[in-house]
Amino acid sequence: MALRQKLLFLCTASPSLESGVCSWANYDGTGVEHHTTGDSDTPPYASVLQAMQDGWRVLQVPQLLPPQPGYELSTSYMKFEYVLEKLEDV
């Protein structure tokens, strides 16, 4: 058997691991599941913490930066993105 990596990107409403997920993306290196953008209306987990409790390991946490003066109320990229991985046998 060989290990293959699955990646899960979760963007949350705040930097808290318990914050609600507002966008997500799945990438399955095992080839078992095939995901595309917008293929589900419901996130795979309600929070990053819930994903961790299901065996996902956090690889990256968001860098917390203060807003630039004058841009406090503007919208931009998803600020609170977490990258998680799970290794599975194939």
- Over residues 19-73, the pLDDT tens digits come to 999 999 999 999 998 888 778 899 999 999 999 999 999 999 888 777 778 876 7
Tokens of 21: 């997920």
Cα-Cα end-to-end distance for the chain: 6
| pTM given for the model | 0.83
Alpha-helix runs per DSSP H in the chain: 48-53
